[in-house]
Structure 1
């Protein structure tokens, strides 16, 4: 008698229609004992202000500039940018196997808060709302000139972040990066074939199926994608059709701030640690592409956290993942169930604060 398929027991591959990729799901591997690398625990205490930290108010940065004594958002040009606005063009290629094209742009750093010992889940909803407004503003400002504006946050040393001060980066480029190109192509093809945006239909389907939902609110959904690669990867989607961050209404920005705080609190609560991740926003291209028909685009944010079994055991993307295709152990449904069950009050709050938050 043939064995019936169970996603939590039997390996299978899943398709990512947003980026035209497949992922191997091997949930049975979670039963194997872990004898690999164990990461050092993150710093338990970070000084609120360090005069030698180049992101702190009043500190001197590597280029000699002194930061203002900012009390909210602080946005400045990256002192070591990967993109500059005035780079020369490499000129025409002499062979199809050796192509190079011009790459111009700007890189900025955005500090979320003057204190180094807070992260987004520990900030207030109004403070997070200020971050959302700053994201929308910088997208509009740089998007007036550049084709792509990539907002991203690397949180934690595990994700290559060398500074614990709460901040993100903004890179604006004259070209459309690879992932953005794939999402452009896939969303356009889906719209042409089915007559509606891919992520609008996907969000509706996930609301009906419910098994991968983590959080829902009046204007937003948080879910573990059917095709998730990272163990506790999530996708943040607006319910309304929105192409870019600046299009969000005040109500949607308020709601976004609230649901972000809840999601990131759940992340921290999972292993009771400051949860590392890389996250970023994707929206319709800007600059010279802004006037084109971009109705196939739906604004969304990706969260890619590496932790798998504990605060010190991470998922490595090596070997098969580098040479063949992505692979995951925990199923997306199992990950969503674990995240859903977690409290929305941060583990670092005292019992009195927990009770106050529960009453509120």
Structure 2
């Protein structure tokens, strides 16, 4: 479809405007400088490297694999505030636990193993906490996506409430039928293996957005069998390699897992990847204007994006 049209997102019930004819428009807007960090094994000034002092004064151990610590500047705390209700003004307590997960002692290389096991271990521990309803695992890769440190790492925020994005995804059970349809059509399929499927979703908003879906219906990372953890590491390595090769750069993105919150009976595990790059390593998509005031809009079609990632 080369004419403007809307596509429906069955996960959250929202629409996205697709305008393929705009992909050829000239660009005279902001062009970011290409940022490629030096490939260092160890950086003495890095807050996350083994043995180094962090900004808050604590020291990292000389870890050799993954390393998890309580965030020194957490967005959520364990103690509660008092709720407020004054007419239209309303607030309620928001508590939680925020952690940082260093993927590797190496300052520049993301390992292919160990991360999934750490995600599962942290999920099991935090979901068992009596005050936690939801566990959000995410990663901001690259300065363009707000990463404050280039050392390979992600974050885990466990919350006393269910975040709105998870509340909106009330129909995740459709993912079982959805990945099978995408598998048959193959237009938006990026890569797959025995247990996982990666697609550019039909309703994608970001130019090279992808969705990682397990073939077997599970609600949480902790439900995965050992072989599914292994093949997940493999499929994520293949996906990030395709991202990096697309524009020959360390591809920035925000990614994260949506898994079943406590108290929710029916939920299908999946991961979202939201990369900002649009045309090259230096031109990104901006969510402004119509996107902020009306509805999401994209130029290149998900089918075109998937074909570029496959190739």
TM-score by length of 1: 0.84
Query: Match of 2:290?
Result: 320
User: How far does the alpha carbon of each residue in 1:306-340 deviate from its partner, in whole angstroms, 9 at most, with x for none?
Assistant: 00100000000011111001000110000011111
Q: Conserved in 1, the CA contact under 8 Å of 2:11 and 2:171?
A: yes
Q: What is the CA–CA distance in structure 2 between the aligned matches of 1:91 and 1:29, rounded to whole Å?
A: 47
When Rg is computed on C-alpha atoms for both structures, the one with the higher figure is 1
Q: Conserved in 2, the CA contact under 8 Å of 1:51 and 1:58?
A: no
Q: What is the CA–CA distance in structure 1 between the aligned matches of 2:126 and 2:254, rounded to whole Å?
A: 22
Shift of the alpha carbon at 1:46? 4.1
Query: Match of 1:151?
Result: 137
Q: Secondary structure at the match of 1:99?
A: strand
Q: What is the CA–CA distance in structure 2 between the aligned matches of 1:256 and 1:80, rounded to whole Å?
A: 30
Q: Conserved in 1, the CA contact under 8 Å of 2:4 and 2:18?
A: yes
Q: What is the CA–CA distance in structure 1 between the aligned matches of 2:282 and 2:41, rounded to whole Å?
A: 24
User: How far does the alpha carbon of each residue in 1:168-211 deviate from its partner, in whole angstroms, 9 at most, with x for none?
Assistant: 0000000011101001x334xxxxxxxxx211011111112111
TM-score by length of 2: 0.97
Which stretch shifts more, 102-111 or 36-45?
Answer: 36-45
Q: Secondary structure at the match of 1:43?
A: coil
User: How far does the alpha carbon of each residue in 1:44-65 deviate from its partner, in whole angstroms, 9 at most, with x for none?
Assistant: 4143211221101001012211
Q: Secondary structure at the match of 1:227?
A: coil
Shift of the alpha carbon at 1:91? 2.5
Q: What is the CA–CA distance in structure 1 between the aligned matches of 2:84 and 2:307, rounded to whole Å?
A: 53
Q: What is the CA–CA distance in structure 2 between the aligned matches of 1:72 and 1:217, rounded to whole Å?
A: 26
Query: Match of 2:221?
Result: 245
Would you say 1:11 and 2:4 are equivalent positions? yes
Shift of the alpha carbon at 1:304? 0.3
Would you say 1:306 and 2:276 are equivalent positions? yes
Q: Conserved in 2, the CA contact under 8 Å of 1:46 and 1:164?
A: no
Q: What is the CA–CA distance in structure 2 between the aligned matches of 1:94 and 1:276, rounded to whole Å?
A: 42
Matches within 5 A, 1:114-193: 114-119=105-110, 123=111, 125=112, 128=113, 130-145=114-129, 146-183=132-169, 185-187=170-172
Match for residue 102 of structure 1 among 78, 93, 99 = 93
Q: Runs ≥4 in structure 1, deviation > 2 angstroms? A: none
Which stretch shifts more, 18-27 or 165-174?
Answer: 18-27
Query: Match of 1:112?
Result: 103
Q: Which has the higher strand share?
A: 2
Number of matched pairs: 309
Query: Match of 1:355?
Result: none
Return 5+ residue gaps in structure 2 as ranges.
none
Shift of the alpha carbon at 1:20? 1.6
Q: What is the CA–CA distance in structure 2 between the aligned matches of 1:283 and 1:171, rounded to whole Å?
A: 13
Shift of the alpha carbon at 1:37? 0.5
Shift of the alpha carbon at 1:220? 0.3
